């Protein structure tokens, strides 16, 4: 695909979530991830089979392939509209497919399925060495069930990224008022309490996130924050990495 044609194709889509570098110096106009290095994904994923949950435009799907993954399976159910995004602006897999073609990856290398995380079974998808679970947990009505489901098809490692409560709680006073330290707390949002987005259901503290990951069957768990003292809600994010014993 020629650069001008690619630029034109990217511009046809009214909304991009991910900022993805494409050939010819073309970059999609998204903003996520805020800091890719903070996810602590291994530079070398050679030979790994990876599951990307909540793939959206596919940044992490394609990043895993760039790092040597033998195959990446992407799933998304397109249920998040950021609280304000028009449904007509989110074009399901169209942006993913555009990037996959531009980057030269085959459908065999990175299949994608319109699927809820709760339906991610071994019969449907097979088993995985590594699972990416980014920007999704807090959109789920049953987040611990989702971790259990993913653990059941993961043989080695999971990386999780989510909103966390350590520095922000809508019930405690907003920015600077959360649950710091090792408080294993999770809050429930029945409406638009968190970020004015009615698809945000739960947010855990960082401690709670680690314990949830551990309880799902990952023995060696490490957690960390995106920013030590975030000044705005977008940076109130945390990570967990869990590894199963061999």
Kindly indicate the confidence band of residue 83, based on its pLDDT and cuts at 50, 70 and 90. Answer: low
Domain contains 212:
yes
The residue segments making up the domain with residue 166 are 31-243
Domain contains 48:
yes
At 139, list the tokens. Answer: 């959109």
Q: Which residues pair with 18 in a beta bridge?
A: 32
DSSP string, 41-107: --S--TT-EEEEET-TT-HHHHHHHHTT-SEEEEEE-----TTT--GGG--TTHHHHHHHHHHT--T
Buried/exposed code over 4-35 (b: 16+ C-beta within 10 A; e: otherwise): eebeebbeebebbbbbbebeeebebebebbee
Domain contains 8:
no
pLDDT tens profile 20-46? 999 999 999 999 999 999 999 999 999
Q: What CATH number is associated with residue 137? A: 3.40.50.150
Q: Which of 81, 111, 86, 82 is nearest to 96 (CA)?
A: 111
Whether the pLDDT of residue 222 is over 70: the answer is yes
147-118-19-58 Cα dihedral, nearest 10 degrees: 110
Domain contains 217:
yes
Domain contains 24:
no
Number of domains in the chain: 1
211-226 average pLDDT score? 98
The percent of residues above 90 in pLDDT, for the chain, comes to 90
Domain contains 25:
no
């Amino acid at each position: 695909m020629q650069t001008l044609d690619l630029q034109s194709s990217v511009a046809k889509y009214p909304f991009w979530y991910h900022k993805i570098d494409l050939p010819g110096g073309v970059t999609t106009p998204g903003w996520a991830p805020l800091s890719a290095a903070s996810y602590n994904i291994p530079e070398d994923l050679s030979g790994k089979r990876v599951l990307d949950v909540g793939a959206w435009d596919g940044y992490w799907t394609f990043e895993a392939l760039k790092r040597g993954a033998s195959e990446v399976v992407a799933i998304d159910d397109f249920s998040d509209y950021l609280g304000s995004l028009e449904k007509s602006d989110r074009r399901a897999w169209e942006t993913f497919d555009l990037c996959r073609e531009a980057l030269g990856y085959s459908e065999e290398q990175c299949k994608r399925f319109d699927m809820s995380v709760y339906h991610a079974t071994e019969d449907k998808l097979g088993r995985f060495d590594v699972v990416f679970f980014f920007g999704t947990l807090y959109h789920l009505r049953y987040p611990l069930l989702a971790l259990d489901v993913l653990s059941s098809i993961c043989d080695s490692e999971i990386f999780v990224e989510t909103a966390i409560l350590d520095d922000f709680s809508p019930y405690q006073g907003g920015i600077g008022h959360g649950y710091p330290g090792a408080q294993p707390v999770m809050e429930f949002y029945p409406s638009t309490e968190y970020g004015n987005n009615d698809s945000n259901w739960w947010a855990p503290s960082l401690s709670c996130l680690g314990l949830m990951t551990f309880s799902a069957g990952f023995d060696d768990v490490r957690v960390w924050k995106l920013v030590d003292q975030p000044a705005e809600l977008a940076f109130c994010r945390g990570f967990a990495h869990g590894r199963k014993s061999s």
